[in-house]
Amino acid sequence: MIEIRALSKQFGTFHALKAIDLTIRKGTVFGFVGPNGAGKSTTMSILATLLAPTSGIAKVDGIDVTQNPEAVRKKIGYMPDFFGVYDRFKATEYLHFYGASYGIPKAERNKLIPQLLQLVNLTDKKDAYVDTLSRGMKQRLCLARCLVHDPDLLILDEPASGLDPRARIEMREILKELKEMGKTIIISSHILPELAEMVDEIGVIEHGRMVAHGNVQEIQSRLRVKRILLIRTAGRDAEAEEYMANRPHVNRILRDDKGIHVHFGGQDEEQSELLHDLIGHGFRLISFSEAQTNLEDVFLEITRGNEGDE
């Protein structure tokens, strides 16, 4: 569904994309991950035909985005990372507006729009003004907007950003339904756990280069090498820190008012041993968990060796 070859984008002298390659098969839910400024939105805007590449090729379902943008637009639904909602519209009117823009006749829209509202769980808000909707509802309305012309490919730029956990679960459920409908979905985020639960494959971009690409398990196991454990004891954090300092797989320890942050190089087996030994040494633990690692931190670690080629 997507084929990208040696795609580059320069803004003046700045290289935002440096010859990236990417292939996404039909029906895949693809997570595009990378820290702020890595090049996710740039890539997605090129695929959405809104930005011209400096060099290289990007094709959607075999159609070149620069040679035939009109044909590509019919195939894609694009949700940018900002709200394109029109506050004076009611939810239904908003979808009619977009449906009409795509040339969908009124009678057809009258049938389609209730179905779309149902898909994104907004039926009971059909007559609500867009500006009265919550952030999560607006995101879902934007998603419905992307679907009016029944595109094969959805390009969703940070659709889960700023959503609370319940809204994220709702978004995930909707994406699952869309996948079942056979859509190919490319979705970006800078938070890996947010994506890992929604996608089949992940591509990681950093400084305009693809640094990893594979299925979720492969990438996660690679990232797990850099897992960070957050440990809290009942009043003995300093002692526990000292106890762990010389243990195998413990690369680095930081302690603050949240607890002890342990940069841990071991796998599940070694992690469970650490927990077992802490308890065995009489430490009473309040919590022992993997911290939600921000991708930016993780990739600063992972790509440390890549900086020389800038």
Chain centre to alpha carbon of residue 298: 15
Pick the piece of the chain touching ligand ATP (CB under 6 A) from 21-29, 39-47, 88-96, 105-113: 39-47
- Number of residues counted as binding ligand ATP (CB under 6 A): 13
- For residue 135, CA distances in Å to 85, 89, 146, 164, 308 come to 11, 16, 17, 9, 41
Q: Of 231, 246, 224, which Cα lies nearest the Cα of 301?
A: 224
CB of 246 to ligand ATP, least distance (A): 39
Question: Which one of 13, 36, 269, 308 is in contact with ligand ATP (CB under 6 A)?
Answer: 36
Question: Which one of 18, 40, 125, 138 is in contact with ligand ATP (CB under 6 A)?
Answer: 40
Residue 55 or 110 having the CB closest to ligand ATP:
55
Residue 211 or 275 having the CB closest to ligand ATP:
211
Residue 47 or 278 having the CB closest to ligand ATP:
47
Q: How many other CB atoms sit within 10 Å of the CB of residue 212?
A: 18
Work out whether 39 is an interface residue with ligand ATP (CB under 6 A).
yes
Work out whether 37 is an interface residue with ligand ATP (CB under 6 A).
yes
Pick the piece of the chain touching ligand ATP (CB under 6 A) from 10-18, 240-248, 262-270, 301-309: 10-18
Within residues 70-99, the interface with ligand ATP by CB under 6 A covers 81
d(CA 58, CA 166): 35
Within residues 190-229, the interface with ligand ATP by CB under 6 A covers 190
CB of 61 to ligand ATP, least distance (A): 23
CB of 105 to ligand ATP, least distance (A): 36
Work out whether 42 is an interface residue with ligand ATP (CB under 6 A).
yes
d(CA 292, CA 290): 6
Pick the piece of the chain touching ligand ATP (CB under 6 A) from 30-38, 93-101, 162-170, 239-247: 30-38
Binding region for ligand ATP (CB under 6 A): 11, 14, 16, 34, 36-42, 81, 190
